[in-house]
Amino acid sequence: MLTFLAVYVLLSSLYGLFLKFSDGSKFYPDYITHLVALQCGDLLEVLGYQVELIKHPDEPSLMLVLNGRYLARIIEGCNAFSVIILFISFVIAFSGKLKTTFFYVLAGSVLIYCANVLRIAVLSMGLYHFPKYESVLHNVIFPGIIYGIVFILWVFWVNRFSKLKQKDV
C-alpha cells in the first residue's frame, strides 16, 4: 500500500508540475489534452463527421464542434492521464520482474490512452445523435468503460505477473 501511495504521489506531483508549466502558448490547454483532442477529431473525421476544435475563450479547454454543432469541452480531465497514473501506481505496487513490469506498464498505458481517444469519439457521436442521454453517457457509461478497462488490466496483472502470483507457484 505504501508503494502504491508513494508512486501515485510522485507521478501525480510530476504531472501537476507539467500542467503548471504548460502555459498554453504552443499547445492549448496542455500538450496531452491537445493531442487527445486532435486525435479524437481525426477519428471523428474518418468516421464521416466534420470536426472543429476551438480554443474556449473563458477556460483552458477546447470546444468540440461536430457538424457545426457545439457538443462538448475537452478539458485536462479528459486526457486519461490521471487514470494512467493510477494504473501505473497499482502495477508498480504489485510489481513482478522488472522487464515484465516495464512492458506491462507501457502496453497498458497505451491501451488506456487509445481506449480513451475512442471513448471520447464515441461519446461525442452519442451526444450528437442522442443529446437527451448526455448525463448517462458522460457520467455513467463512458467513465465505467475506462475504469472497467483499468480494473481488468489490474486483475490480469495480479493473476498473471505480479510477485503475489509468483509466491503462490
pTM for this entry: 0.91
Cα 24 to Cα 90: distance, rounded to the nearest angstrom: 31
Domain hosting 159: range is: 2-168
Strands (E), the chain: 51-55, 62-66, 69-74
> For the chain, what is the mean pLDDT?
93
Cα 127 to Cα 121: distance, rounded to the nearest angstrom: 10
Domain count of the fold of the chain: 1
Q: Comparing C-alpha atoms, which of 76, 78, 67, 68 is closest to residue 29? A: 76
Q: pLDDT tens for residues 100-157?
A: 999 999 999 999 999 999 999 999 999 999 999 999 999 999 999 999 999 999 999 9
The reported pLDDT for the residue numbered 162 is 81
